[in-house]
Chain A
Amino acid sequence: MSVVTNTTTIGAIEAPSRRNTELWLLGFAVAIPVFAYLNVGLAIDGKMPPGMLGYGAGLALLAGVAHLVVRKFAPYADPLLLPLATLLNGLGLVLIWRLDQSPRIIARYDTFTPDAPKQMMYSAIGVAMFVGVMLLLKDHRVLQRYTYISMAAALVLLLLPLVPGLGADVFGAKIWINIGGFSIQPGEFAKLVLAVFFSGYLMVKRDALALASRRFMGLYLPRGRDLGPILTIWAVSLLILVFENDLGTSLLFFGMFVIMLYVATERTSWVVMGLLMSTAGAVVVGSTASHVQSRVAAWLDPFGCLKTAPEGSNMAAACDQMTQVLMSFGSGGILGTGLGQGNSDLIGFAANSDFIFATVGEELGLAGVMAFLLLYGLIIERGVRTALAARDPFGKLLAMGLSGAFALQIFVVAGGVMGLIPLTGMTMPFLAYGGSSVIANWALIGVLIRISDTARRPAPAPAPSPDAEMTQVVRP
């Protein structure tokens, strides 16, 4: 691309596009999972796994397509986001494939079908989604137009699992819907749509929320009409929790909203109020929903509650799962047992979805878990950096909302699995098995890349100044 020049003495200096850096990194992001795949095959069967080449080629193809699309349609985008997502997705595929090989998981089901090929397909759809975002969303500011449509869409998505006949109750959580043989988790997509709504709404109302307020006990209380939508969202997230047994999602949405409010209004009082509200909500739900109570008991003292919980109860199952997860982590130690050589499949049915991080802990050890957490941390950091760099408030809020939600999800899932906070049953982005999660997260990366492209694009050249023109024309 040629440097834009004009007649002023200072020309716009073009920021390096970094597309070649991204290509190099993508090479690593494909090569590392391929070696991991080889490692699992050698550890389990002692020979090169038959699907390795096809699998590696598939991942390379996805990465290559995504890269070309970014090169063409978002040339100034952040160079790290795509390789990070590819690496995590590739390693997730290896972990799922590794769990597919477990004889214990195979023996548990009458008809066992491996999950890795399905996850490969979902990854392809996810990358297609990414490409779609790149092609259709030429400028993220277009999304502002859909603020209230987004809110409606988010509510519909969230409430879909409660529709009789459509929603499916799986293991006590009503967060899936069944369409044509596929089960979809609408909540994963609602995360994106809600971020759009929050950004649009807050961009308009931020001044009202920040300034048109009364001071009360050291806090700034906004007017009722500005507060209304916030209370609505709080109530909806509680409803989701109560009716769908989904603590994680409601926490995620609420946290995302509080973060965005704080960023938009720059008022700390929102954070305090958010904390108060979520504490109140958590206390109410924690003392009424038995589902949540058993999770809390399993978090406080998993080994102890295994002894006290009645046999065969929901609580005993939750505690057993938690102890298995903790022992998985403990058995990994510092360097882990090596891919394919652990026993994380003892955790049970959710070993490759909710608890896939325990497999990382056992087979890659402390070193591996820290590496994964840092990879996620890098994605979050690039997201926040995009928000800082974005020039429009809508883009700032959207980037911050998405990366804040991503951070909260990582914290809630990894913290829950590692016993830092009560378990909530969400999935680790890109790593866990599940179509909705992979597709939605690829879309999220797509939106972030789109915003970062706009943010890093060189400033358009200033229009030629007629005054300058005038002063140069000196006629004798």
Chain B
Amino acid sequence: MNKPLRRVAIFCGLLVLALLIRDNWLQYVRAEELNTHPKNKRVTIERYAHERGNIIVDGKPITGSVDTKDPYYAFKRTYTDGPMWAPVTGYASQAFGATQIESIEDGILTGNDDRLFFDRTLSMFTGEKKTGGDVITTLNGAAQRAAYEGLGDKKGAVAAIDPQTGKILALASTPSYDPSSFAGYHDKDSKAWNDLEEDPDKPKLNRALREIYPPGSVFKVVTAAAALENGKVTDIDAATETPEPYKIPLSTKNMKNHASGCKDASLKRALEVSCNSVFAKLGDEVGRDKMVEMAEKFGFNKEQFIPVRAVSSVYDKNMDRGGNALSSIGQFNTATTPLQMAMVAAGIANDGKLMKPYMIDQLRAPNVDIVTQNEPEELSRPVSAENAQLLQAMMESVVTNGTGSKADVNMPGVRVGGKTGTAQHGEKNKARPYAWFISYAKTDSGSPVAVAVIVEDDAGTDREDISGGGLAAPIARDVMKAVLKSRS
């Protein structure tokens, strides 16, 4: 009987061998695939197993973690002033994932980042509970509040930048949402989520970074910069040879002017009262390629990462002359994020040096060691210092003599420059226009703030009254005031 016994022994060995091979296939070859499978809840469980680090503004956390005693996901995210900060923080939801800073800096916030390895190892020996690190933002609480409250019930967005460093000071978007409302994974969270998804006003949309709007007249600043840089205008007070009416190139239509006195107006005057004809003609003279070049130097046609991704603003590279003329006054295909327009204002305010915008100042380990310190970085030099100063003079004149008077902060030693915009959009410009305002404040020690405001909403305002100067400028003023006050 021993011969078949030996054979059966071999068979049993093969059974065990098959199991060993299968296990290697499962746990070595397929481990990565199974471990990162979307159905695998372990990543989420791990993410919420420990107290999450916080996002910090002005030294105070704007987020928190609460121990829910839940057997699956122990800690739930909470937000102070959730709707106000949502465009900055994004959300971290047990059921619906995470976005923006909550997602990008997840490693630091959960404490799983490789850079925290030593910290983790150390606390393993000291027996401390694992917690996440903190993200310290560049934002200014007062400015954010001014922006958020200024927008109020209206639909719109605000982006404010420190022109000298590129630090983002405010990033507001309305209507907003409270990330706390769906931070968990229970029925009420999914109801809150579904309500937000179905809301026609799209509260979850981050309008400051992810929506592109026609910029309208605020884009004229870019056209003016291109005209100066390319030598089409050397004296901003000299009369331009602009006919009235001005015929759009390759078109039978005339460019419509809302302002009077645009015939042969000087560049400065044209910006003050916002003459379409003057800027359309200048844009045409500069030419499409040079206009594209200038717009791109300011950051158009490229996604910006702050480190949250901002969609790329558009200045069409392939349009004809007529399109280029229309684009030069911020119509036609031109479209921009509020952040992009704040960058334009910031570049001019900082004497032609555009700093890369960013909103994370430091990443801090749980033991308050600094993991990463972000330093200001130059993005480009769209205009020379001299031309920047000419542009500043013109923009300041818009506030003192022109359409932007409501933006003046009335503080001694502070100059304010701005530009209004009322962007037509929709089929045959039927839709209610957007009110734009970009501005900066400047003291002797340079400019501490540049801001872009768009008010999309219109309900409650007569169509004729919608104007950048009326709706958006006061918000910009409040934001600038808040920054200036916190500086002094």
Contact = CB atoms under 8 A, between A and B. Distances in A.
Contacts of A420: 18-19, 22
Q: Which of A264, A366, A415 has the most CB of B within 10 A?
A: A366
A327 B39 contact: yes
Nearest to B34: A330
Contacts of A332: 27, 31
B1 A263 contact: yes
A51 interface: no
Contacts of A440: none
B12 interface: yes
A46 B124 CA distance: 10
B16 A384 contact: no
Contacts of B16: 373-374, 376-377, 380, 407, 410-411
B71 A381 contact: no
Contacts of A102: 71
A388 B2 contact: yes
Contacts of A104: 71-72
Interface in A383-404: 384, 387-388, 393, 396-397, 400, 403-404
A329 interface: yes
Contact of A103 (B8, B26, B37, B71): B71
Contact of B45 (A343, A380, A384, A415): A343
Contact of B22 (A303, A330, A387, A418): A418
A365 B2 contact: no
B9 interface: yes
A334 B32 CA distance: 11
Nearest to B32: A330
B2 A410 contact: no
Given A262-B8, A266-B1, A373 B35 contact: no
A122 to B, nearest CB: 26
B24 A366 contact: yes
B317 interface: no
A327 B35 contact: yes
Given A107-B71, A384-B8, A331 B42 contact: yes
Given A106-B71, A404-B12, A411-B19, A303 B39 contact: yes
B31 A411 contact: no
B238 interface: no
Contacts of B32: 330
A326 interface: yes
Q: How large is the interface on A (under 10, 10 to 19, 20 to 34, 35 or more residues)?
A: 35 or more
A174 to B, nearest CB: 28
A330 B37 contact: yes
A306 interface: yes
Nearest to A302: B39
A369 interface: yes
A408 interface: yes
Interface string A315-327: 0000000010011
Contacts of B71: 102-104, 106-107
Contact of B9 (A327, A381, A396): A381
A71 to B, nearest CB: 28
Interface in A41-57: 46
A379 B71 CA distance: 38
A411 B18 CA distance: 9
B5 interface: yes
A129 to B, nearest CB: 25
A380 B19 CA distance: 14
B5 A388 contact: yes
A112 to B, nearest CB: 11
B30 to A, nearest CB: 6
A324 B1 CA distance: 44
Contact of B42 (A107, A303, A343): A343
Contacts, number: 132
A419 B1 CA distance: 35
Interface in A414-447: 414-415, 418-420
B5 A377 contact: no
Q: Which of B3, B12, B13, B20 has the most CB of A within 10 A?
A: B12
A400 B8 contact: yes
A370 B37 contact: no
B27 A361 contact: yes
Q: Which of B2, B3, B8 has the most CB of A within 10 A?
A: B8
A327 B40 contact: yes
B72 to A, nearest CB: 6
B1 A393 contact: yes
Contact of B15 (A106, A264, A410): A410
Nearest to B37: A327
Interface string B109-130: 0000000000000000001000
Contacts of B23: 329, 361, 366, 369-370, 373, 418
Contacts of B30: 330
Nearest to B7: A262
A330 B33 contact: yes
A27 to B, nearest CB: 26
A102 B71 CA distance: 8
Given A331-B40, A380-B16, A396 B5 contact: yes
B4 to A, nearest CB: 5
Interface in B191-248: none
Given A330-B30, A330-B33, A346-B41, A373 B19 contact: yes
B60 interface: no
A162 to B, nearest CB: 30
Contacts of B12: 380-381, 384, 403-404, 407
A262 B30 CA distance: 38
A31 interface: no
A380 B32 CA distance: 33
A326 B127 contact: no
B429 to A, nearest CB: 48
Contacts of A46: 127
B6 interface: yes
Interface in B60-76: 71-72
A348 interface: no
A333 interface: yes
A373 B9 contact: no
Interface in B251-284: none
Nearest to A393: B1
A259 interface: yes
Interface string B30-62: 111111010111100100000000000000000
Contacts of B5: 263, 384, 387-388, 396, 400
A327 B8 contact: no
Contact of B8 (A107, A259, A326, A393): A259
Contacts of A387: 5
A141 to B, nearest CB: 16
Contacts of A264: 1
Nearest to A342: B42
Contacts of A384: 5, 8-9, 12
11 contacts: A46-B127, A102-B71, A106-B71, A263-B4, A263-B5, A303-B39, A333-B28, A380-B12, A396-B1, A397-B1, A411-B19
Given A326-B26, A381-B9, A397-B1, 19 more contacts: A104-B72, A259-B11, A262-B7, A264-B1, A306-B39, A323-B39, A327-B34, A327-B37, A329-B27, A329-B34, A332-B31, A333-B35, A361-B23, A373-B19, A387-B5, A388-B5, A403-B12, A418-B22, A418-B23
